[in-house]
Structure 1
Amino acid sequence: MRHPPRSGLLLVGAAVALVGTAIAPTVTASGATPACTVEYSVTNQWDAGFQGSVKITNNMASVSSWSLTFDFAQGQEVTQGWNAKWSQSGTSVTAANESWNGSLASGASVSAGFLASWSGSNTAPTGFKLNGTACNVDGEPTPTDPPPTDPPPTGEAPKLHVSGNKLVDASGATRRMLGVNRSGGEFMCVQGYGIFDGPVDDAAVEAIADWKANTVRIPLNEECWLGLSNIKPEYGGANYIAAVKDLVAKVEAHGMTPLVELHWSYGQYTGNSAGCSDVHATCQKPMPDAQYTPSFWASVASTFKDDPAVAFDLFNEPYPDRATSTTTQAWTCWRDGGTCPGISYEVAGMQDLVDAVRGTGAKNLILAGGLAYSNDLSQWLTYKPSDPTGNLVAAYHVYNFNTCASESCWNSTLAPVAAQVPLVAGEIGENTCSHGFVDTVMKWFDDRNLSYLGWTWNTWDCSSGPSLISGYDGTPTSYGIGLRDHLRALNG
């Protein structure tokens, strides 16, 4: 998906990456019920920054808007946040409601999170006030015992592999990949803002599992993973890899399949349908580059080759067909790479990437999307890369504005592919802020026992994202409610 580059997070200082695993004490109020209570917690902490959250409970009369204020005592500075409009003046921090979460009934709660910097000491803030009324008035918050880093795993992610045209687990039972995309890892780092867009702590992953999703697709950026010189070191290389591994582990702990995917890559392309003129990995390129992408996949495969529950999606949305003059040239470029007409950089073809993964000894499941931003699989079988493990899957993307977005096209181009290999719609979505189109997609795929993943689990505008959620607690948009209710009906 060619999506908004950011989600409108407030930036008031130098952003910090969510890469640590240290847990600070949770702070809560105690005693008689006050007018309002605030539970403050630090869920991740590292050398210069931390991730915090507040849960606000209103015990007064209902309000149509809210504003929480509190004071930091040790020079901490909020750098970005979500589920509220965050600002800071001196030591005083304000979190005001968003347009969609302003109503707060008596007894109701709302949560919001933020990233912040710190040095010296990271003591809990004081003086919590909701709309000017003091909270936790029976005494300032006092630390409780630190929580464990994560709750015990709630399930085990299946170890998927190909059997004929089906995906099966280790017991041989047929499985489908049904879930969501979790965007952010492809753009936050390369733009210098952090690693992920919004929280990726256990509560945030649990919210995805609560939709009864069984798969989470995680878009990545090759320059960030490889730690190239244009990437801020705090967000790239070892820090980036550690953050991705941590998210993968959390996804698996909730019994879901992590599908790691290369979204943005290196190479300058200024031809037809160019997303940007930048040589760096700041947009979707027509094909992977031979200079870095094989190294990226060799590194990713080496990282996860001992974990067969992790699946690999080689390249988000190839579109060499927009650069070349013939379909044959486009499909040849797609498979074989090299010097492709209309593309100025040396291309890594799908066969190169399969070879890079398998060269590490990794036998993990591999997905490969077709032409036209993965919307065209018409000659996928003809140009299918060779995989010595036989563990290759066809990937497809479909939105209401794509060329192949009708049942007649699916019947003519997808059905023949699905008859021979597993087919996964790695992205489905629509820009209508409704779900009529994805309902049609899901029914077609359900009828054929195929897989699909909704784009995207991010709090963007559903008409431009499109976004499944309005809050990282899993609150769906009017578009996302279609996928949520359908997954719960299938897997509830």
Structure 2
Amino acid sequence: MRHPPRSVLLAVAGAVGLVGSMTIPVVTAQGAGPACSVEYSVTGQWDNGFQAAVKVTNNTAAMSSWSLSFDFGGGQKITQGWNAKWSQSGTAVTAANESYNGSLATGASVSAGFLASWPGSGSDAAPASFKLNGTTCNVDSEPPPTDPPPTDPPASTTAPPLHVLGSKLVDAGGATRRLLGVNRSGGEFMCVQGRGIFDGPVDDAAIQAIADWKANTVRIPLNEECWLGLSNIQSQYGGANYIGAVKDLVARVEAHGMTPIVELHWTYGQYTGNSAGCSDVHATCQKPMPDAQYTPSFWSSVANTFKADQAVVFDLFNEPYPDRATSSTTDAWKCWKDGGTCPGIGYEVAGMQDMVDAVRGTGARNVLMAGGLAYSNDLSQWLTYRPSDPTGNLVAAYHVYNFNTCSNESCWNSTLAPVAAQVPLVAGEIGENTCSHSFVDQVMKWFDDRGLSYLGWTWNTWDCSSGPSLISGYDGTPTSYGIGLRDHLRALNG
């Protein structure tokens, strides 16, 4: 999906930037040094909302995990957080470590942040006290609690390993598995914008909410610069921290019996031609094709990370559109397959064959998805130009929204049906911008009738007309658009 305009995604952050930064000082008691200290800062305010940050310093023995707790007194409600697993019950707030920042050595600090709202009669007053693993901070030392804070139970892989058999995806026993579920956007943009790793919670409760819709698949968009930890990415959101967070999310998805699809969404390379999403050389928007400089390294690293787990599916590139860069359909499909120097694209391109080769060069046999032209909406010559896969585990990927060109049964019958007769076909994104579900109902029926796969865009709490978004809350509360997918999945798999 071409995301909502950057102005929509960053509307709240933009409001914060207009106000500026305000720090609320925290007073430390006199006497013996505190066991822990917490700095709480309100970094921006707007009508009935604010952004805040906490910096926690551990002054006692090293910790392998941490949990910060405090109470709000002004009716504040956290709406989004980063760098910690944020939760709230009434006035009580808890921020537990992520997998990548659980270790807290003596004297070490960790920072996290959140967005919150408050009622018109409330305020954004600072919490009166904080506790780290049960020990009160900013006062004289107390003995640490006997028991460590609770953490998510260890994940156990219950999603089945998959491979291609003819035109079907099957598990190890040969049973057909249709991939039916949702996209979980965030990993492609939060990190490169310096705002976190995921947009909203991805803890066990959040993944359980997806499973409660009877989904069996979650597609996870990624950013190549964040995965590779390039110099323009803040270290807390890139490299090992980013990879660790993605691995944790994949494990949670699998623990709920759902297939994880890891997908390359935003990539390096400057493109300013027709339909350019941005003029930035960095991975801050959808580019017409991935770049040869970093993309093969990205896929080699991802494949090495997950090759022992064939339950993980790899979606090679979100929405190619080299056809917008050149008027020649033949040139566009050649660029799609072989990459190199492509008409209208100013950087060297990694083609689908380059990405297949990068994955297979690691020994990984995971199922691969390859979307066609026109933002994965055109599969008319997919069979002619499909890359060679020595393992035979290649799937055709397709995206369809009500505003696409190929968005009716006539086009599906003429262009999709021949592909689906030869290889598995997965609609990695389906959706509509009407805040209703009449269009996706048609899509699901056509795919159901042929035993094919589809995933709704997207499990994020954006406005359903600009997203479009399936949910209004991460507990799984559907939008009027999301109701269609939720009820349909429950009817199929309930």
TM-score normalised according to structure 2 size: 0.79
1:244 corresponding residue in structure 2 = 246
Q: 1:69 to 1:175 in 2, by over 3 A?
A: closer
Query: Shift of residue 229 of structure 1?
Result: 0.5
2:167 corresponding residue in structure 1 = 165
Q: 1:80 to 1:245 in 2, by over 3 A?
A: same
Question: Does the aligned pair in 2 maintain the 1:26–1:146 contact within 8 Å?
Answer: no
Question: Does the aligned pair in 1 maintain the 2:431–2:440 contact within 8 Å?
Answer: yes
2:177 corresponding residue in structure 1 = 175
SS at match of 1:335: helix
2:341 is aligned, of 326, 339, 342, to 339
Q: Deviations over 1:433-476 (max 9, x none)?
A: 00000000000000000000000000000000000000000000
2:329 corresponding residue in structure 1 = 327
SS at match of 1:442: helix
Once residues 252 and 267 of structure 1 are traced to their aligned partners in structure 2, the CA distance between those partners, rounded to angstroms, is 33
SS at match of 2:419: helix
1:36-435 → structure 2 map (5 Å cutoff): 50-56=84-90, 79-81=113-115, 88-91=124-127, 121=132, 148-151=150-153, 156-435=158-437
Query: Shift of residue 69 of structure 1?
Result: 8.7
1:140 corresponding residue in structure 2 = none
1:114 corresponding residue in structure 2 = none
Q: Deviations over 1:92-113 (max 9, x none)?
A: 69xxxxxxxxxxxxxxxxxxxx
SS at match of 1:460: coil
1:22 is aligned, of 58, 65, 68, to 65
1:474 corresponding residue in structure 2 = 476
Q: Deviations over 1:126-180 (max 9, x none)?
A: 9xxxxxxxxxxxxxxxx99656532466871011110000000010001100000
Q: 1:25 to 1:231 in 2, by over 3 A?
A: closer
Q: Deviations over 1:33-84 (max 9, x none)?
A: xxx9x9x99xx99xxx63331123xxxxxxxxxxx59899xx9997323797
Unaligned runs of 5+ in 1: 29-35, 57-67, 94-117, 127-142
SS at match of 1:274: coil
- The aligned amino acid for 2:115 is G
Once residues 163 and 415 of structure 2 are traced to their aligned partners in structure 1, the CA distance between those partners, rounded to angstroms, is 24
1:3 corresponding residue in structure 2 = 3
Question: Does the aligned pair in 1 maintain the 2:69–2:132 contact within 8 Å?
Answer: no
1:33 corresponding residue in structure 2 = none
Q: Percent identity?
A: 76
Unaligned runs of 5+ in 2: 17-41, 44-51, 56-62, 96-108, 138-144
Q: Deviations over 1:367-403 (max 9, x none)?
A: 0000000000000000000000000000000000000
Question: Does the aligned pair in 1 maintain the 2:69–2:93 contact within 8 Å?
Answer: no
Question: Does the aligned pair in 2 maintain the 1:309–1:364 contact within 8 Å?
Answer: yes
Question: Does the aligned pair in 1 maintain the 2:352–2:370 contact within 8 Å?
Answer: yes
Question: Does the aligned pair in 1 maintain the 2:261–2:315 contact within 8 Å?
Answer: yes
Question: Does the aligned pair in 2 maintain the 1:365–1:392 contact within 8 Å?
Answer: yes
Q: 1:405 to 1:348 in 2, by over 3 A?
A: same
Question: Does the aligned pair in 2 maintain the 1:223–1:266 contact within 8 Å?
Answer: yes
Once residues 316 and 428 of structure 2 are traced to their aligned partners in structure 1, the CA distance between those partners, rounded to angstroms, is 11
- The aligned amino acid for 1:300 is V
1:436-451 → structure 2 map (5 Å cutoff): 436-451=438-453
Query: Shift of residue 220 of structure 1?
Result: 0.2
SS at match of 1:476: coil
SS at match of 1:171: coil
Question: Does the aligned pair in 2 maintain the 1:340–1:346 contact within 8 Å?
Answer: yes
Question: Does the aligned pair in 1 maintain the 2:224–2:266 contact within 8 Å?
Answer: yes
Moved more, 168-177 or 83-92: 83-92
Q: 1:359 to 1:409 in 2, by over 3 A?
A: same
TM-score normalised according to structure 1 size: 0.79
- The aligned amino acid for 1:382 is T
Once residues 64 and 445 of structure 2 are traced to their aligned partners in structure 1, the CA distance between those partners, rounded to angstroms, is 41
SS at match of 1:174: coil
Q: 1:25 to 1:227 in 2, by over 3 A?
A: closer
Once residues 457 and 70 of structure 1 are traced to their aligned partners in structure 2, the CA distance between those partners, rounded to angstroms, is 24
SS at match of 2:84: strand
Query: Shift of residue 328 of structure 1?
Result: 0.2
2:32 corresponding residue in structure 1 = none
